[in-house]
Amino acid sequence: MGTISERRRQDGSAVYTAQVRVMRDGKSVSTSSSFDRRSAAEAWLRRKEAELLRPNGFEKLSRTKRNTATLADAIDKYLAQSEQQIGRTKAQVLDAIKRYAIADMICEDIHSKDIVEFAQELLAGGRQPQTVANYLSHLSAIFQIAGPAWKMPLDPNEMKAAMIVSKRLGMTQKSAKRDRRPTIAEMDALMQHFAERSKRANAMPMHRICAFALFSTRRQDEITRIKWEHLEPGRILVEDMKHPGQKWGNDVWVDLPPEAEAIIRSMPQTAAQIFPYKATAITAAFTRACKFLGIEDLHFHDLRHEGVSRQFEMGKTIPQAASVSGHRSWSSLQRYAHLRQTGDRWAAWKWTQNTAAPS
């Protein structure tokens, strides 16, 4: 009455699918479920066979139309049909989850213990608690909408319970705030490195991009999206600015410090975008340069942190700093409240004028 079939994933691990099929009076009904352990599949099979032997067991099974959609199906649906713009990192994480055993489970069979086991599997594979927290956070978005949107029975309460357990057990934790700031000597080395390479044909003007990131406080994705048509004296429109609850249509006008505006004015108008490059290429170039120059633990995003810090050290208030950084919540800027007004340490920086000179 019941069978168990085994198949292998790309990573070599096994998936066991248990199926019960019954024929009575010319009518056939079946139900199935997949597991990453044979023992679990056998236990499920025994339970279903026992249910069929009970009075009206066959009739109950025939009336039940089991939704056999898996978590992987729900993820694919989300990636394909979400009306919101899905960030690159989130899409990569969700795609990575599909390679784990939990992705092959039928949605209604997934409970908090399965999610906790998934978190443990991530930790065993070398992921840090901060990374595990990100995985569960992105996965929770699927649990929130799969049922109402596509009738895929993922229970958001099971997800919530798993996240609470994972946090209590120390399997997840928030990422620590980075406080790494570049030194003037490090920036001098980077600027010299990039300036020499900018002389090559079709090379990105990374020295201008780095200086612009520092003075404007813009993220690399935002730098590649800003357009000439949205430039006004002293300000520019940033389309789809990063926001935790709004991934699409969050367009914000931000003030341009004079140093940042001067760099923009030095760029040739060859495309709709002021910096017509890929964000991934900017990050990769910066990472390679730091490695080549022996600069440790410096990320491109740290230039934004430096730019915001600079605003406060110049004596700007939280509202004034927010008008440049684009922060909607002033509470997000409280981490800079300890900075004292010490002046602009980049005031005499030799690259301020060099990057503003026409190409």
The tens digit of pLDDT for each residue in 239-288 reads 988 765 555 567 899 999 999 999 999 999 999 999 999 998 999 999 99
* Number of domains present in the structure of the chain: 3
CATH code of the domain in which 261 resides? 1.10.443.10
Q: What residues make up the domain containing 24?
A: 2-63
The answer, yes or no, to whether residue 67 has pLDDT greater than 80, is no
Q: Please give the average per-residue pLDDT across 7-14, as a whole number.
A: 74
The tens digit of pLDDT for each residue in 157-193 reads 999 999 999 999 999 988 777 889 999 999 999 999 9
Residue at 334 is within a domain: yes
Residue-level pLDDT at 249: 60
Q: Are residues 103 and 249 in the same domain?
A: no
The answer, yes or no, to whether residue 228 has pLDDT greater than 60, is yes
Please indicate whether residue 2 or residue 310 has the higher confidence score (pLDDT). Answer: 310
Residue at 97 is within a domain: yes
Of 3-7, 12-16, 282-286, the least confident: 12-16
Q: Are residues 347 and 204 in the same domain?
A: yes
Residue at 106 is within a domain: yes
Residue-level pLDDT at 305: 94
Q: Are residues 134 and 221 in the same domain?
A: no
Residue at 43 is within a domain: yes
Q: Any idea which residue has 């998936």 for tokens?
A: 15
Q: Are residues 194 and 248 in the same domain?
A: yes
Decide if 23 contacts 32 (C-beta within 8 A): no
Q: Please give the average per-residue pLDDT across 92-119, as a whole number.
A: 91
Q: Are residues 337 and 207 in the same domain?
A: yes
Please indicate whether residue 335 or residue 83 has the higher confidence score (pLDDT). Answer: 335
Residue at 178 is within a domain: no
Residue-level pLDDT at 250: 78
The per-residue pLDDT of the chain, averaged, comes to 87
Residue-level pLDDT at 17: 84
Domain final residue pick, 36, 63, 90: 63
Residue at 176 is within a domain: no
How much of the chain, in percent, has pLDDT values that exceed 70? 89
The answer, yes or no, to whether residue 205 has pLDDT greater than 60, is yes
Q: Please give the average per-residue pLDDT across 199-206, as a whole number.
A: 89
Residue at 179 is within a domain: no
The answer, yes or no, to whether residue 195 has pLDDT greater than 70, is yes
Residue-level pLDDT at 330: 75
Q: Which pLDDT band holds residue 23 (cuts at 50, 70, 90)?
A: confident
